[in-house]
Amino acid sequence: MTVTAPSLEERLTTQIHRRTSRRVRDLAVEVLNETVVVSGVAPSFHVKQLALHAVRELLPNSSFRNRIEVAEPSIAS
């Protein structure tokens, strides 16, 4: 049985989930032409910032596109 190392996308996704306690909905991480693109929906700017720090922890000197939107959850009446 061969075990393969996780891809960069998988590592980044895991790191973002860990740092944000899985609070970024519809999280997607893609590597396109050596640029990392992170997208999803965060419930606050704080959670968005945590996600960005998670990317920086793994890729401190790389450029990436931040497409995480902040949308506060709606309150049901």
Domains of the chain by range and CATH? 8-70 (3.40.1520.20)
Instruction: Check whether 77 has a pLDDT greater than 70.
Output: no
pLDDT for 5 equals 83
pTM of the model: 0.85
Cα(66)–Cα(22) distance, rounded to whole angstroms?
Answer: 17
Among the listed residues 5, 9, 12, 20, the one whose alpha carbon sits nearest the alpha carbon of residue 56: 12
Taking the CA atoms of residue 44, residue 60, residue 66 and residue 10 in that order, the dihedral angle to the nearest 10 degrees is: -90
The 10s digit of each residue's pLDDT in 12-55 is: 999 999 999 999 999 999 998 888 999 999 999 999 999 999 99
CB neighbours of 63 closer than 8 A, spacing ≥ 6? 35, 36
Residue 28 has what pLDDT? 97
